[in-house]
Structure 1
């Protein structure tokens, strides 16, 4: 995809509320505002947590590769040297304690694997043989704007055995208090398209674990499945809403 068109799709402006001085000189994209309204019906793992007019998104594990020093990774473009099909991630944070109103100034960390299924900050033994302990690709932090939205520039993630493709997210309030750790699932048809047609990047074929059989998403997929639009040629946009109790 041409860089000009990719930038046009994001838009630019002074959106993000800076948490600390950003790492590098990233351009701040102006994400599309998620206009989800009404009652949200997400459930937490092990039961339903209801507050006000909506319920919080599922709580999931941060491991086995959580970001070690997220405050050092305040940035919009989290690709670093990783290559793959470009993707914009737009995440809206809503507050279940305020009738699902947008939660401004929430801190959002995301992280995911690269096209080959590897995570930065880990490796050399155990679950990941390749050592990436000294690098920090595909990890980033932003604060939500007045519409409760953050945006990141990244790549479409690959997969590793035993898990469906996914993105991790950790949400904090403006003071740094942890509100929720959750995960974001991808539509299977989009994954199949990427992994079978963008073979110059993705060489492993389709994932070996479906969303339905994934140990994280099998009981909560409807509440963690993102909307992903776009194409291999032009790049993708992921849109997802996470509800927290703040």
Structure 2
């Protein structure tokens, strides 16, 4: 399916319309408001290597799907990932796997629970986790909800790129501008302002510019579109 058709049909399937940006809205300076710049002006640099965190996907091959919402509620989010190959003049990298996973609006992860990190039991659930294969443009998209937060971490999405054999190429995380998070977290499906800022987060503190979403456009009624380029 072509990307434009995916965006249209996928969003309508959720009963919402997600705005598709025509400009890149940068959010690189810690928690400042994003600034608009022209597309294609960014330097091609290797994306930061980050931890998978305490809640990685256990069986990603079983989660080949674009709509990862499941039974979770929250502000709609279309995640659009573009993968570039640093070793090949930063050309789009097609045919690789992109895995994404993140917590729900209350800060809970599926596939885990009954432990010190997450007491609520979601060990038999598989929400907000998925895998897609990049197309000829190096792109993969996911229909999700805006992630919530949990104590000690700034809001984030986990992401891993793997080759066709399932071997990991790059593990990283995506950060969000505080201004948008504050707007989303004031809605009913979330638990208020996050307790950790991007520049105080132990993952983003030394790599925020490379982790921050390239663009994040939309609103709480219609949903948001996140665009992020990952260089491997």
Q: Same fold (TM over 0.5)?
A: yes
Gaps of 5+ in 2: 11-19, 25-37
Q: What CA distance in whole angstroms lies between the structure 2 residues aligned with 1:88 and 1:82? A: 15
Q: How does 1:1-246 map to 2 (within 5 A)?
A: 10-12=7-9, 37=40, 40=43, 54-196=44-186, 198=187, 200-202=188-190, 204-226=191-213, 227-244=215-232
Return the offset for 1:11: 2.4
Q: What CA distance in whole angstroms lies between the structure 2 residues aligned with 1:216 and 1:106? A: 25
Q: What CA distance in whole angstroms lies between the structure 1 residues aligned with 2:46 and 2:167? A: 16
Asked whether the 8 Å contact 1:32–1:90 carries over to 2, the reply is no
Structure with the larger RCO, 1 or 2 (CA within 8 Å, 6+ apart): 2
Secondary structure at 2:181 match in 1: helix
Q: Deviations over 1:71-90 (max 9, x none)?
A: 00000000000010111000
Return the offset for 1:177: 1.8
Asked whether the 8 Å contact 2:48–2:172 carries over to 1, the reply is yes
With over 3 angstroms needed to count, the CA separation of the structure-2 counterparts of 1:106 and 1:36, relative to structure 1, is farther
With over 3 angstroms needed to count, the CA separation of the structure-2 counterparts of 1:32 and 1:144, relative to structure 1, is farther
With over 3 angstroms needed to count, the CA separation of the structure-2 counterparts of 1:127 and 1:234, relative to structure 1, is same
**TM, length-normalised to structure 1:** 0.79
Asked whether the 8 Å contact 1:56–1:243 carries over to 2, the reply is yes
Secondary structure at 2:122 match in 1: coil
Return the offset for 1:106: 1.1
With over 3 angstroms needed to count, the CA separation of the structure-2 counterparts of 1:97 and 1:39, relative to structure 1, is farther
Q: What CA distance in whole angstroms lies between the structure 2 residues aligned with 1:162 and 1:76? A: 29
**TM, length-normalised to structure 2:** 0.83
List, as ranges, runs of 4+ consecutive aligned residues in structure 1 with deviation greater than 2 Å: 31-40
Task: Tell me the number of residue pairs that the alignment of Structure 1 and Structure 2 aligns.
Answer: 206
